[in-house]
């Protein structure tokens, strides 16, 4: 079996270190620097000839820098004769632009897939892709993991009484249903409708939430607008004041933190798929780490064992 090397981009070094620790390995040494003119430079300090290489790079608020850095790392490692290059991208940037809704839009999620392939990667490992169809955007197979297991374990321990899982919109119903089933609770959905023309949109809560403890469950929190509106709707519908919020990807774009601070959720549970800067950490925030999950998958991939067992 070829030897394995793990490299970290600059987007999320803590996660990379945690993954390496889980694997009882050290991160391989690589130079990543920026010239005064803004250009990125990267060079491995270790030979990778014939190695099975994993690059840990997630998408943050400087997603374009993250992606260009990733492409340059791939190019450098490919030209240094790495045998296979696996990209571990816990949060896949541009995932939401995955279709043309108004004519002449880009399909940026497909573009990013094409650019990753053009740079020379052989495989992508990611978590909770915004839509499952994104797997078909790649010409090579993709490991689309789910952090559901982490949330199930966490909330199973919590044993919240009288609990209802709530999907904040129609798009997330399927995944919310799977989650609700796994923790053995009821499901409700919030959706928006416009009864007739020229009437403003109405938010409706569907399912039994009155007097119950709600757990809003989504794939990501971006500006937190929809989850905060959902919280209002649940309260209006008679839900308990203690509302939980769980989501895989803490994108936390402005004004997410102001809104969340104001909303006073009982708890905000997210993963570390994206690093959260200190000034965005709230007291009621709980972060579940995906490091163990990713380390397991990396090991299974490297040893060509079924990844299905891990999930």
Question: Active-site residue numbers?
Answer: 192
Report the residue from 13, 26, 156, 170 that binds a second copy according to the rule CB under 8 A. 170
70 touching a second copy, by CB under 8 A: no
Alpha carbon distance 229, 149 (integer Å) = 27
Number of residues that bind a second copy (CB under 8 A): 103
47 touching a second copy, by CB under 8 A: yes
Q: DSSP 3-state assignment of 64?
A: helix
Q: Which helix (H) or strand (E) holds 3?
A: none
Per CB under 8 A, contacts with a second copy among 111-140 are 111, 114-115, 117-119, 131-137
Q: Which span (74-82, 228-236, 277-285, 288-296) binds a second copy, by CB under 8 A?
A: 74-82
In the bound state with a second copy, the residue whose beta carbon lies nearer, of 2 and 153, is 2
Q: Which helix (H) or strand (E) holds 279?
A: none
Report the residue from 21, 25, 65, 266 that binds a second copy according to the rule CB under 8 A. 65
Q: How many CB atoms lie within 10 A of CB 205?
A: 22
162 touching a second copy, by CB under 8 A: no
Helices then strands, each counted (H, E), the chain: 8, 14
Report the residue from 14, 105, 153, 210 that binds a second copy according to the rule CB under 8 A. 105
97 touching a second copy, by CB under 8 A: yes
87 touching a second copy, by CB under 8 A: no
Taking the complex as a whole, the smallest distance from the CB of residue 155 to a second copy amounts, in Å, to: 14
Alpha carbon distance 227, 205 (integer Å) = 13
User: What is the 3 state secondary structure string of 11-54?
Assistant: CCHHHHHHHHHHCCCCCCCEEEEECCCCCEEEEECCCCCCCEEE
257 touching a second copy, by CB under 8 A: no
279 touching a second copy, by CB under 8 A: no
174 touching a second copy, by CB under 8 A: yes
171 touching a second copy, by CB under 8 A: yes
- Residue 98: partners with Cβ closer than 8 Å, 6 or more residues away: 107, 108, 109, 110, 130, 131, 133, 134, 137
DSSP 8-state class, residue 228: H
> In the sheet where 52-56 sits, what is the strand order?
4-8, 52-56, 84-89, 123-127, 142-145
Report the residue from 25, 173, 235, 276 that binds a second copy according to the rule CB under 8 A. 173
Report the residue from 33, 156, 162, 204 that binds a second copy according to the rule CB under 8 A. 204
């Amino acid at each position: 079996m070829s030897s394995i090397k793990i490299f970290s981009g600059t987007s999320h070094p803590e996660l990379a270190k945690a993954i390496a620790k889980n694997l009882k390995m050290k991160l391989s040494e690589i130079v990543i620097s920026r010239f005064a003119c803004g250009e990125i430079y990267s060079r491995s300090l270790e030979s990778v000839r014939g190695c099975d290489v994993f690059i840990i790079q997630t998408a943050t608020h400087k997603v374009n820098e993250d992606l260009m850095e990733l492409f340059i790392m791939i190019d450098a490692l490919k030209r240094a004769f790495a045998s296979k290059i696996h990209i571990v991208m816990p949060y896949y940037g541009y995932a939401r632009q995955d279709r043309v809704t108004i004519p002449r839009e880009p399909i940026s999620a497909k573009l990013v897939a094409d650019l990753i392939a053009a740079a020379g990667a052989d495989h992508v490992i990611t978590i909770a892709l915004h839509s499952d169809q994104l797997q078909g955007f790649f010409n090579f197979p993709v490991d689309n993991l789910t952090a559901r297991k982490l949330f199930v374990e966490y909330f199973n321990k919590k044993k919240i009484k009288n609990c209802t899982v709530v999907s904040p919109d129609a798009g997330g119903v399927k995944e919310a249903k799977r989650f609700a089933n796994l923790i053995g609770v009821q499901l409700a959905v919030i959706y928006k409708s416009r009864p007739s023309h020229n009437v403003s949109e109405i938010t409706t809560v569907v399912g039994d939430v009155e007097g119950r403890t709600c757990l809003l469950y989504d794939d990501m929190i971006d500006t937190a607008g929809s989850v905060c509106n959902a919280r209002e709707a649940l309260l209006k519908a008679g839900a308990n004041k203690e509302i939980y919020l769980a989501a895989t990807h803490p994108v936390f774009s402005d004004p997410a933190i102001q809104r969340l601070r104001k909303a006073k959720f009982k708890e905000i549970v997210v993963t570390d798929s994206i690093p959260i800067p200190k000034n965005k950490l709230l007291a009621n925030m709980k972060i579940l780490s995906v490091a163990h999950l990713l380390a397991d998958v990396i090991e299974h991939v490297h040893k060509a064992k079924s990844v299905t067992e891990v999930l």
